[in-house]
Amino acid sequence: MNTFGSIGCLVTRAAFNFGKVDIVTINGPSIDLNCMVCMFQYDSTYGKFKGRVKAKNVTLIISVGAKKVIISAPSADAPMFVMDVVHEKYDNSLKIVSNASCTANCLAPLTKVILDNFGIMEGLMTTVHVITATQQTVDGPPGKLWCDGQGVAQNIIPASTGAAKTVGKDSPELNGKLTSMAFHVPTLNVSIVDLACPLEKDANTVTSRKW
For each of the chain's 211 residues, which pLDDT tens digit applies?
877 888 888 888 888 888 888 887 787 777 888 888 888 889 988 899 888 887 776 544 444 456 788 888 888 888 888 888 888 888 889 888 888 888 888 888 889 889 988 999 999 999 999 988 888 989 998 888 888 899 999 999 998 888 888 888 778 888 889 999 999 999 988 889 999 999 998 877 656 666 5
Residue 63: predicted pLDDT: 46
Shortest CA distance to 195 belongs to which of 181, 205, 209, 176? 181
Whole-angstrom distance, CA of residue 122 vs CA of residue 124: 7
Whole-angstrom distance, CA of residue 82 vs CA of residue 101: 9
Question: DSSP characters for 54-66?
Answer: ---S------S--
Per the annotation, the verdict on 147 as an active-site residue is no
Task: Catalytic residue, from 9, 35, 38, 102: name it.
Answer: 102
Beta-bridge partners for 69? 96
Give the number of residues written for the chain. 211
H helical segments located in the chain: 6-18, 33-41, 102-117, 163-170, 205-209
pLDDT tens readout for residues 39-82? 888 998 889 988 888 777 654 444 445 678 888 888 888 888 88
Shortest CA distance to 99 belongs to which of 116, 85, 114, 113? 85
**Interacting residues of 21 by C-beta distance below 8 A, sequence separation 6+:** 15
